[in-house]
Amino acid sequence: MAASDSRWPCRDGEGNRSIPNVRETGVQTDAKVQGQEPRLSKSNLFTLLSLWMELFPKKEACQRENDPAGDSGLVVVHEHRVLGLHCSSVQLHAGQVAVVKHGPRLKGCDLYFSRKPCSTCLKMLINAGVNRISYWPGDAEIGLLSGRRDPADSGHQEALLDATAAERLKSNSRPHICVLLQPLDSTMLQSVDQTSQTCDFLGKIAADNPTLDVADVFRKEWWNNSGDFLEKFFINDEEQHMYVLNKMGLENFCVEPNFSNLRQHMRNLIRILASVAASVPVLQDEYGFFTREPLGTGSPALPQDVIRHCVIQARLLACRTEDPKVGVGAVIWAEGKQSQCDGTGRLYLVGCGYNAYPVGSQYAEYPQMDHKQKERQNRKYRYILHAEQNALTFRSAEIKEDENTMLFVTKCPCDECVPLIGCAGIKQIYTTDLDSNKVKHDISYLRFDKLNSVQRFIWQQKSARHTSEQAALPTANGCMKRRDKETHFQCNKRLRS
Ligand SMILES: Nc1ccn([C@H]2C[C@H](O)[C@@H](COP(=O)(O)OP(=O)(O)OP(=O)(O)O)O2)c(=O)n1
């Protein structure tokens, strides 16, 4: 961590994090970024999704018997589209989950890991014919740092043996095994901070509480996230980081300026993740996703921490929008009949997307104006595909009638999408209704309120929810549990005290 970078949490003598003034640190921008917003590259998006998947809230801590591997997240990509979002479970590492779930479909896929996968996973993935394996250059899946100072430490000996085997597999394999972090556009950080602060989730809190300083809510959340994510994904000690990179065969990153550039790049991506996650703040006793109707015969709602995780996946996808003004992301998950040993329990990804011009279109090929600009023929609305439309069109799994399929979307579905969602067999929607009942000439939001065939869980104040929801909540694995036990999800619990 650069000592001069005042945007990063620092600790006082007692180890408490101190929060600098937002104006001094530039978290809040005074002027909106002008012109075309920068887009996150696909590699960076998939890398961020893999980090986020490592933090998927799980029912039990992932302590595997006689297995030194830690948690990891994984994104499986086929022809530039996300095929699966996974994380390690009690039984399996993330790479093993991918083999179990996708089998021969892994051929030609690109895999993004939140840690360098262990040799057990690597040999199977190479054998499956994957195209590329990219991993986050922090500590490996079998951690190289624990016990490093003690040469007799058996865990560390295991990690060294595994690292050597992984290197041998890498040098003899066809797939490209690499670190794929792409340089960020210089305005990217500022733009993500801005769009995170102005997104509909914080917008709803602002609308409900006119006197509340929402920028302050965002800033505190961002600060806590940054500290948590740095602890998890960044090796603060430079000497330790070099040791890890050397053992993972990344000696080239250990020379300057590569080393500093790599670390800066990792910090920037962690900053983006912190910012996006802060756009849906953890306000457990105040805000969450609740239905206004009685739950009746439909499936029970997911636990709030799982919902938030999926909504933030959608918020990350929104960072790749092509809309000049509004980024929207959508993910569709389904609850299968049985657990597949994925860390996500019974949940599996059906599809995901963000709003963008038709596939293959060139920059500025289509109109970009919005409804506030006069010339109707130059407005974007007839050309842009919506996040839900892309998620449905490019889905990687079928929507099954007998399963609970859930859409998580960062903006209220518009009138163009509501019938698609209803007919596609989506059973539940988790979203915000800030735009509900608005008409903006070329896009309107009148039909969502009447979409009675789908259970709607709306980001709102807890006091506004229906009381029948308070009775019992299902876990990520589908078991029912009492609300007072909800906080027992281990893997995503706040790292701070
Ligand atoms: N559920 C939704 C809602 C909207 N969009 C996309 C379609 C357009 O790309 C953009 C439209 O957003 P707005 O309704 O906010 O319209 P404007 O872009 O005109 O912004 P403003 O709210 O300032 O009027 O968002 C989407 O993909 N999915």
State the pLDDT at residue 146.
Answer: 83
SS3 labels along 258-271: HHHHHHHHHHHHHH
326 CA → ligand 1 middle, Å: 6
Q: How open is the CA angle 230-271-273, to the nearest 5 degrees?
A: 90
CA of 198 relative to ligand 1 center, distance in Å: 13
257 cis-preceded (ω within 30 degrees of 0): yes
Token pair belonging to 182: 């792409």
Residue range 47-55: mean pLDDT, rounded: 98
Q: Atom of ligand 1 at shortest distance to CA of 327?
A: 25
The rounded radius of gyration (Å) of the Cα atoms in the chain is 22
What local confidence, expressed as pLDDT, does residue 49 receive? Answer: 98
Q: Where are the alpha helices (DSSP H) in 408-454?
A: 418-424
**CA 108/CA 175 separation, integer angstroms:** 9
> 210 is written with which tokens?
């006119």
Winning range, highest mean pLDDT, from 9-13, 56-60, 137-141 = 137-141
CB of 94 closer than 8 Å to CB of 76: no
Report which of 318, 330, 292, 243 is spatially closest to residue 469, judged by C-alpha positions.
292
Please give the Cα distance from 413 to 405 (Å, whole number).
16
Between strands 329-335 and 404-409, the pairing is: antiparallel
The answer to whether residue 478 scores a pLDDT higher than 80 is no
Q: Is 450 exposed, middle or buried (0-12, 13-18, 19+ CB in 10 A)?
A: exposed
**Ligand 1 atom with the shortest distance to the CA of 431:** 1
Pocket of ligand 1 (CB under 6 A): 323, 325-326, 328, 355, 370-371, 384, 386-388, 409, 411-414, 417, 435, 440, 443
Beta strand extents in 109-229 (DSSP E only): 110-113, 132-135, 176-178
Distance CA 3, CA 1 (A): 6
Q: In whole angstroms, what separates CA 328 from the centre of its chain? A: 14
- How many whole angstroms from 432 Cα to the centroid of ligand 1? 13
pLDDT for position 60? 67
How remote is the C-alpha of 128 from its chain's centroid? 26
Split at pLDDT 50, 70, 90, the class of 358 is very high
Q: Is 24 a catalytic residue?
A: no
Give the integer Cα–Cα distance in Å for 62 and 70: 8
Which residue type is seen at 101? K
Which residue in the list 221, 388, 403, 469 is annotated as catalytic? Answer: 388
* Full-model pTM: 0.87
Q: Which atom of ligand 1 is nearest to the CA of 389?
A: 27
Q: To the nearest whole percent, how much of the chain has pLDDT over 70?
A: 84
Q: 382 CA distance to ligand 1 centroid (A)?
A: 12
Q: Are 265 and 233 in contact (CB under 8 A)?
A: no
Mean pLDDT check: name the lowest of 5-14, 246-255, 437-446: 5-14
Sheet holding 347-354, edge to edge: 287-290, 455-461, 428-431, 404-409, 329-335, 347-354
User: SS3 of 164, please?
Assistant: helix
Per the CB < 8 A criterion, the answer to whether 78 and 46 are in contact is no
For a substitution probing ligand 1, which of 311, 328, 449 has the most ligand atoms within 8 Å of its CB?
Answer: 328
C-alpha pair distances (Å), 345 with each of 67, 87, 207, 350, 476: 20, 10, 36, 15, 6
Angle at 495 between CA 493 and CA 497, to 5 degrees: 105
As a whole number, mean pLDDT of residues 168-184 equals 86
More confident site: 266 or 18: 266
Relative to the CA of 370, which ligand 1 atom is closest? 19
Percent of the chain with pLDDT over 90: 64
Q: How far does the centroid of ligand 1 lie from the alpha carbon of residue 438, in Å?
A: 11
Q: Is pLDDT at 176 greater than 70 in this prediction?
A: yes
Q: Given ligand 1 and candidates 32, 204, 326, which is best to mutate, with the most ligand atoms within 8 Å of its CB?
A: 326
Ligand 1: residue whose CA is nearest its atom 15: 326
Task: Tell me the range of 168-172, 271-275, 468-472 where mean pLDDT is highest.
Answer: 271-275
**311, 385, 388, 414, best to mutate for ligand 1 pocket (most atoms within 8 Å of CB):** 414
Closest residue by Cα to atom 20, ligand 1, is 326
Rounded to 5°, angle at Cα 142 from 140 and 148: 90
477 or 240, higher pLDDT: 240
Is the complex ipTM higher than 0.85? yes
Q: If you measure from the C-alpha of residue 411 to the centroid of ligand 1, how many angstroms do you get, rounded to a whole number?
A: 8
